[in-house]
Amino acid sequence: MMIESNNPEINVDELMHKICEEVVKRRVPCEQIDLQSNLDTSKLKLSISYIENFLKNAESRSGVRTKWPDKLNIFPFNFSTKLQKLILKIINFLFKDEREVNFNIISSLKESVALNYQLIEQITTLKAQVDTRIQGLDECLVNVDTRIQGLDKRLVNVDTHIQALDERLVNVDTSIQGIEDSLNAIDTLINNWLTGLQEGLDTMNMQVQYLDEHLSTVDARVGKLNEHLITTDNRIITADTRIQEINERYIRNDSYLKNDLIQQKHLITVFLEEARKCLPENFSQEQLQTLVNENTHFFDAFYVAFEDQFRGSRQDILNRLKVYLPLIAGAKIGKPESPILDVGCGRGEWLELLQEAGYTARGLDINRLMIQQCKARGLEVIEKDALSYLQSLPDSSLGAVTGFHIIEHLPFEDLLKLFGEAARVIKTGGLVIFETPNPQNVLVGSCSFYYDPTHRNPLPFLTIEYIAQYYGFSHVQILKLNPSEQNRVADNSELTQRFNEYFYGSMDYAVIGFKS
């Protein structure tokens, strides 16, 4: 420890610098390397191998001394073995720092040699890449020279072609001169021909002007004829319209007369049949009642004609009634075990829609002519009073009871009985639908409702809604339908909207109730 404390600290970097300087002074016994020459890496490797020999020798001599040198076995240094080992330990202890320094220096130099080897390998690789690039450039230059030679040959051919073109241009100039002479001659001929043509055109213009004047006169006459034809067409159209109206009226009146004659014939037949039964006696009470009952059908033909005039066309009614088909589909009724009954079926528009949709349905009416029309369309219709028929049915035997523009014809007592019987015969889940004029529309409630003399009283929807709820129908709803087609007042104020609702709103409504 005393020796270490007395020795100053060794600077490794400074020591390495000094060693490098010493190596440069001694100069390796080899040829000087010229880096600016052809970068001969074999010379660099030879120099580095020479340095490696130095390092191996230095490394072998920098280790710990464990053997007494043979040169010191002569007198007076031939000490005993124990003394030799002691001396070696002392020497090793004294030169411990120097050994470490030497070892570090040798390790650094070995790493430097390894790095030099890596640099030599990289230099070799770069040299090979440069040589390859140079070889490629040489090949490109050879190709460029070849293409330049080809271009030279093509330029020679172009020069030859240009000379030939120059010769042809000389010939063309000669030809052009001849063509110009010919054109001058043609111009002279054309000028002469145009002069004659202009004179002919002047003559034709005079003739065309005369024709234009004549055509103007003809056009004026044709215009008058067209006006006359338009007037005639309008008169024909008016006549056709009037003829069509007359034909429609004739067909309608013919139908009404036929229906009325059929009814009268039926009444006469009934009368004669009853008279034949009682002759030579007087009519019995039963026979008189039969005649009275037949008398109730006296206005059947009139009401059929009245319906055709005021109810609307069959196609219009079919389109209006389609709104109820989703209700039937939603209730899952109209099957043989849950049929639909339409009271007051009239011309059978609703029954026709149900039949086309595949539902089981039948209708009731007391107008024989309408019943005949329905049967002619293949519809199932029964001639019977609605209340008496419903009273004859068992409980929960129908899927739905419907009636369109029928309840306004009934006395109030019969109206209540109709709802009561409908509630009794409808199955659970079935429904009732009754459509009637909407008196909330002022024009309907004050005027159009009374077009039909068989109507009794307008029925406000709140009243009918209450009656349906009273007789046990649930989820009762009012469906307002068929708004007026007249133009409404164009204003967004609240007063105008209320006015439009009362005067141009829904002309009909339907009460819909479900049996739960």
pLDDT digits (tens, 9 = 90+) for 174-204: 877 777 777 778 778 877 877 877 887 888 8
- The pLDDT of residue 364: 97
pLDDT 10s digits, 309-352: 778 888 999 999 999 999 999 999 999 999 999 999 999 999 99
Quick one: 221 exposed, middle or buried, by C-beta within 10 A (0-12, 13-18, 19+)?
exposed
CA distances for 273 relative to 25, 116, 255, 268, 367, angstroms: 164, 145, 27, 8, 22
Average pLDDT over residues 470-484: 95
For residue 434, is pLDDT > 70? yes
Average pLDDT over residues 210-234: 83
pLDDT band at 377 (very low <50, low <70, confident <90, very high): very high
List of residues 6+ apart from 504 with CB closer than 8 A: 441, 483, 484, 486, 488
Token readout for 276 is 């034949």
| HSE-up (13 A, CA, CB side) for residue 388 | 7
- The pLDDT of residue 425: 97
- The pLDDT of residue 282: 57
For residue 468, is pLDDT > 80? yes
- Range in 108-122, 275-289, 428-442, 460-474 the model is least confident about: 275-289
Average pLDDT over residues 396-418: 96
Q: How far apart are CA 401 and CA 216, in angstroms?
A: 77
pTM of the model: 0.48
Q: How far apart are CA 188 and CA 194, in angstroms?
A: 10
| 380 vs 92, more confident | 380
pLDDT band at 29 (very low <50, low <70, confident <90, very high): very low
- The pLDDT of residue 461: 96
- The pLDDT of residue 166: 75
For residue 17, is pLDDT > 50? yes
- Range in 21-35, 264-278, 281-295, 327-341 the model is least confident about: 21-35
Highest mean pLDDT among 26-30, 86-90, 293-297, 440-444: 440-444
Torsion angle in degrees (nearest 10) through CA of 237, 240, 246, 252: -110
| % of the chain beyond a pLDDT of 90 | 33
What DSSP line would sit under 243-309, residue for residue?
A: HHHHHHHHHHHHHHHHHHHHHHHHHHHHHHHHHHHHTTSPPPHHHHHHHHHHHTTTTHHHHHHHHHH
Highest mean pLDDT among 50-54, 298-302, 404-408: 404-408
For residue 127, is pLDDT > 60? yes
For residue 481, is pLDDT > 60? yes
- The pLDDT of residue 456: 92
| 112 vs 79, more confident | 112
Q: How far apart are CA 43 and CA 160, in angstroms?
A: 61
Contact 423, 471 (CB under 8 A): yes
For residue 380, is pLDDT > 90? yes
For residue 390, is pLDDT > 80? yes
Q: How far apart are CA 483 and CA 481, in angstroms?
A: 6
For residue 2, is pLDDT > 50? no
- The pLDDT of residue 223: 83
Average pLDDT over residues 32-45: 54
For residue 392, is pLDDT > 50? yes
- Range in 35-44, 98-107, 387-396 the model is least confident about: 35-44
| 28 vs 452, more confident | 452
Query: Mean pLDDT for the chain?
Result: 80
DSSP state of 465: H
Average pLDDT over residues 115-132: 82
| % of the chain beyond a pLDDT of 70 | 76
